[in-house]
Amino acid sequence: MSKRPSISFAKFAAVESGTAILLVAAEGKTAAEAESVVGPALLSRIIDVSEFKGKLAASLSTIAPAGTELERLVLVGSGDPAKLKADDWLKIGGAALSKIGTAKNATVILALSGAEVSAENAADFALGMLLRAYTFDKYKTKKGKDEDEKEQKTAANITIQVADPHAAKKAFTNAEAVADGVVLARDLVNEPANILGPVEFAERVEELKKLDVKVEILTEKDMKKLGMGSLLGVAQGSARPARLAIMEWHGGKGKDKPIAFVGKGVTFDSGGVSIKPAAGMDEMKGDMGGAAAVTGLMHALASRKAKVNVVGIIGIVENMINGEAQRPGDIVTSMSGQTIEVLNTDAEGRLVLADALYYCNDRFKPKFMVNLATLTGAIMVALGVYRAGLFSNDDTLAGQLFDAGEGSGEKLWRMPLGDEYDKLIDTKNADMKNIGGRHGGAIIAAQFLQRFVGDTPWAHLDVAGTAMGSPATEYSQSWASGFGVRLLDRLVRDNFEG
Ligand code: BES
Ligand code: MN
Ligand code: ZN
């Protein structure tokens, strides 16, 4: 989709042509390797005259000084090198890429004054570049006509000079797998709902077979046999049939129980009969952000051959309003046997996940389950759009997830669960209803899910605020962020491999 740059690593050497990209630390400090590109005196003059302070991810592009064969010189700030986290390296990489413009060749001198740049840092920097380069422009038929949106004719060749190119390249192989997973998740979420319905989504999942992921797609007939009345009730108002996709990656020991990720895949959420207001309804093409993250994660784990057994399950439906649509007041029977009074057809994500979670637990007996869902508007009221809500019945899992969030920059914040909240979904007509009162909407939704996970360690990530409509950052200019892929790759890498 995007003009993805091609990235390679090399040892420090003279930069003879093209664009040179140099790091500048706080207070304008530069490394000897950077100074040698145009000489220390000239570099410090450029930094002084432009008052470039080296703030994290600040950047500046100038015409290269006379007397060199270079075209441009780009300065990128690192802030205080002692404080850099993985996420900061992504930001620096993203900022660097944003200044490359239409350059064909660019060389990055990845050296900091007074601090070492590890292979891991270099890989994160490169990952930031790849993620920044992403654009969703496949439906733009008139590309780059305007002066201010010049298109790259070919992908830029970027050479990153580091102390140990071999180690950096190795670390980058993993980072590239993660980048591919994030790009896949973003593509799925950005795709409009007329193009990507449940059947088409399932077809995209089947492509993971190429990476040796085992894929099974359940049809409505299969799901009916299993008794998934809760999921099917949501799908029944759409002309497009539902699917349940099951992905398995066996990278661990044969007998090891798998870990499991479950996603809400509502390819479009009109609200159903409890229809949503017109303004902003288009955004509900992204109501499969949880399922997209699970798919992207499976892609990432399989391409980097993660040493772990993983199951990914996504419930894919379209929430629409034809003559067969589910009505408020309908009572459905979930696969677990529990009955649900559907008082609001727009609280459909939990109905889909109820059967997906129960099925996952019942069939795979996983070590734990983490589900991701663009589940409630209420989570945005609580946390804004910079952290996803984390709900869990297990403090260890919650802690591991929280830490993976801080490490990756895809941050979480733990929210409460409890009997007081659970009672709010009791109803006299059935085992439960699918909405509670006016307050605590994100918690009520989580309580509903908890009724389908038994005693298995479980966490629910409400990504309604973070998966789509995302604010632009140094490494994401996309409406769909791909939130969850880097977070969960990190969770797996730090806790469950080898
Ligand atoms: N998909 C929505 C939640 C959502 C809203 C995601 C905005 C992203 C942006 C979900 O299905 C929904 O409609 N939730 C309702 C629940 C309510 C009816 C209890 C909501 O949040 O309003
Ligand atoms: Mn809804
Ligand atoms: Zn929804």
C-alpha of residue 463 to centroid of ligand 1, in Å: 11
- Is 350 one of the catalytic residues? yes
> Is pLDDT above 60 for 47?
yes
Q: What domain range is 327 assigned to?
A: 177-496
- Mean pLDDT (the chain, rounded): 96
Side chain identity, residue 229 = G
Give 12-81 as a 3 state SS string: CCCCCCEEEEEEEEHHHECCHHHHHHHCHHHHHHHHHHCCCCCCCCCEEEEECCCCCCEEEEEEEEEECH
Residue 343 lies in a domain: yes
pLDDT value for 1: 39
Structure confidence by residue, pLDDT tens digits, 188-239 = 999 999 999 999 999 999 999 999 999 999 999 999 999 999 999 999 999 9
Closest CA to 321 of 341, 339, 353, 346: 346
Let me know whether 438 and 373 are in one domain: yes
How many independent structural domains does the chain possess? 2
Respond yes or no: is residue 276 known to be catalytic: yes
In this predicted structure, the answer to whether residue 303 has a pLDDT above a threshold of 90 is yes
Could you tell me if 294 and 261 lie in one domain? yes
Residue whose structure tokens are 């993976």: 404
Answer for the pair 461, 372: CB distance below 8 angstroms, yes or no.
Answer: yes
Position 102 confidence tier, pLDDT thresholds 50, 70, 90: confident
Instruction: For a ligand 1 pocket test, name from 346, 379, 462 the mutation site with the most ligand atoms within 8 angstroms of its C-beta.
Output: 346
Q: For the segment 412-442, what is each residue's pLDDT rounded down to a tens digit?
A: 999 999 999 999 999 999 999 999 999 999 9
Residues within 6 Å of ligand 1 by CB: 269, 287, 344, 346-349, 374-378, 435, 441, 464
117-132 pLDDT, tens digit each: 999 999 999 999 999 9
212 is in an annotated binding site: no
| Residue-wise DSSP of 430-469 | SSEES---SS-HHHHHHHHHHTTSTTS-EEEEE-TTTSSS
For residues 120 and 295, give the distance between their C-alpha atoms in angstroms, rounded to a whole number. 25
- Confidence band of 66 (pLDDT split at 50, 70, 90): confident
Helical packing angle, 395-408 and 86-98, nearest 10°: 30
Distant-in-sequence, close-in-space partners of 380: CB < 8 Å, separation ≥ 6: 464, 465
Among 155, 186, 211, the domain-final residue is 155
Distance 49 CA to ligand 1 centre (A): 51
**Predicted pLDDT at 190:** 98
- Ligand 1 centre from 271 Cα, in Å? 8
- pLDDT tens digit string along 277-292? 999 999 999 999 999 9
Residue nearest to atom 13 of ligand 1 (CA): 346
Residue nearest to atom 17 of ligand 1 (CA): 347
Residue 484 pLDDT > 80, yes or no?
yes
Percent of the chain surpassing pLDDT 90: 94
> According to the model, what pLDDT value does residue 155 have?
81
329 in the same domain as 440: yes
What pLDDT, on a 0 to 100 scale, did the predictor assign at position 101?
87
- Domain boundary among the residues 155, 185, 201 is at 155
Q: How far is the CA of 347 from the centre of ligand 2 (A)?
A: 5
Tally the C-alpha atoms within 13 A of residue 184's C-alpha that lie toward its C-beta.
27
The pLDDT-based confidence of 67 (bands split at 50, 70, 90) is: confident
Q: What is the DSSP letter of 101?
A: T
The β-bridge relationship of strands 6-10 and 157-161 is parallel
Six token digits for residue 447: 């309580």
Tell which atom from ligand 1 comes closest to the C-alpha of 444: 19
Closest ligand to C-alpha of residue 374 is: 1
In this structure, are 139 and 221 located in the same domain? no
Residues 80, 146, single domain; the answer is: yes
Q: Contact at 8 Å (CB) between 295 and 314?
A: yes
Catalytic residue, candidates 276, 307, 367, 414 = 276
CATH number at residue 481: 3.40.630.10
Lowest mean pLDDT among 104-113, 133-142, 144-153: 144-153
Do 73 and 149 belong together in one domain?
yes
346 is in an annotated binding site: yes
